[in-house]
A = this chain, B = another copy of it.
Amino acid sequence: MSVRLKDVAVRAGVSIRTVSNVVNDYPYVRAETRARVQAAIDELGYRPNLTARQLRRGRTGMIALAVPDLTIPYFGELAGHVLMAAERHGLTLLIEQTAGSREREVMLAQGPRAKSIDGLLLSPLAADVEDLPTGSESVPLVLLGERIYDPRFDHVAIDNVAAAEAATRHLLESGRRRVAAVGVASSARSTMADLRLRGYRQAMDGYGLTVDERLVVRTTWFRRPDGYVATKQLLESGEPPEAMFCFNDLIAHGALRALSEAGLRCPEDVAVIGIDDIEENRYTVPSLTSIAPDKSKIAHHAVELLVRRIGGERPDGVDYTPGFSLSVRESAP
């Protein structure tokens, strides 16, 4: 009888899942544990049953990435990284645009389309957790972003509270105090916006500052026109802020334009920071300071997790939180 995963787990004194993690070379195992499992594998002469894995896995060789809007550069750039990560696994990637429609999101996860793909990376904007399939017949699924949190699913999302706190703190460190937050969600749907607002408040708290609620500006969506209109409102409502934390880069680009039209200099009069670190930030005038999520890692781990689901594993969900860094440019030195 051949050596099974279970035998390795018993010998190493770990769970079957941990052995699986080591065999599949996933990054969620401590070095010490990994070494112990590897020793047990070597002792017992365990060989993973690749054919069975391939059989379960390789139904069509296609996975899909579904995002709300490909004209938002963050999603376009992420799609490029996911394309490369999928190719490393020999998988063809379909790219889907849901337009934030619940029907489209559900159709991709549950409908006939789901039958033609091996797995789905979904960045949900409208669907709720009850809309998502969980049975053994449903398409393997990994969720991007934090709109839906459910322990049965794998999630890949940056720590939005920490990212927003870092952005706001960067503005505060330059001595500016009247810091606006632009991009607060007008609807209840955006968990991302809620978390970024919380990070902003935490940073202000950390400096012992009371938030002037007139500087907390709502937008309906996360595009240039939203940032432009919000900044106009902000400037018309009274004394300009000394700095603006915009909840994404497109809102910040709209803000730069509105500041320029109002005759305000950036960063001298108003410093501006965004989140996403899209390519365009290097070419705006002034160039835009931004929080940079590690898109390459997001893509890499999302595909790894999906391949693992496709491989037939139905463990509890894994949460992967990729890091971020600060790209300092002219708009907020």
Tell whether A256 is near chain B: CB-to-CB under 8 Å. Answer: yes
Tell whether A73 is near chain B: CB-to-CB under 8 Å. Answer: yes
SS class of chain A's interface: helix, strand, loop or mixed?
Answer: helix
Tell whether A83 is near chain B: CB-to-CB under 8 Å. Answer: yes
- In the complex, the answer to whether A80 meets B95 with C-beta atoms within 8 Å is no
Tell whether A319 is near chain B: CB-to-CB under 8 Å. Answer: no
Tell whether A79 is near chain B: CB-to-CB under 8 Å. Answer: yes
Kindly identify, within residues 49 to 104 of chain A, every residue whose CB is under 8 Å from any CB belonging to chain B.
Answer: 62, 70-71, 73, 76-77, 79-80, 83, 92, 94-97, 99
List of B residues within 8 angstroms of A196 by Cβ: none
- In the complex, the answer to whether B71 meets A97 with C-beta atoms within 8 Å is no
- In the complex, the answer to whether B283 meets A285 with C-beta atoms within 8 Å is no
- In the complex, the answer to whether A83 meets B97 with C-beta atoms within 8 Å is yes
- In the complex, the answer to whether A95 meets B96 with C-beta atoms within 8 Å is yes
List of B residues within 8 angstroms of A80 by Cβ: 70-71, 97
Q: How far is the CA of A116 from the CA of B59 in the complex (A)?
A: 14
- In the complex, the answer to whether A92 meets B113 with C-beta atoms within 8 Å is yes
The contact of A256 among B254, B279, B283, by CB within 8 Å, is: B283
- Max chain B CB contacts within 10 Å: which of A116, A223, A224, A284? A284
List of B residues within 8 angstroms of A224 by Cβ: 279-280, 282-283
**Chain B, residue nearest A258 (CB):** B283
- In the complex, the answer to whether A285 meets B285 with C-beta atoms within 8 Å is yes
**Chain B, residue nearest A266 (CB):** B285
Tell whether A260 is near chain B: CB-to-CB under 8 Å. Answer: yes
10 A-B pairs besides A70-B95, A94-B95, A253-B280 with CB distance below 8 A are A71-B73, A76-B76, A83-B97, A94-B96, A95-B96, A224-B283, A253-B283, A254-B283, A256-B283, A285-B285
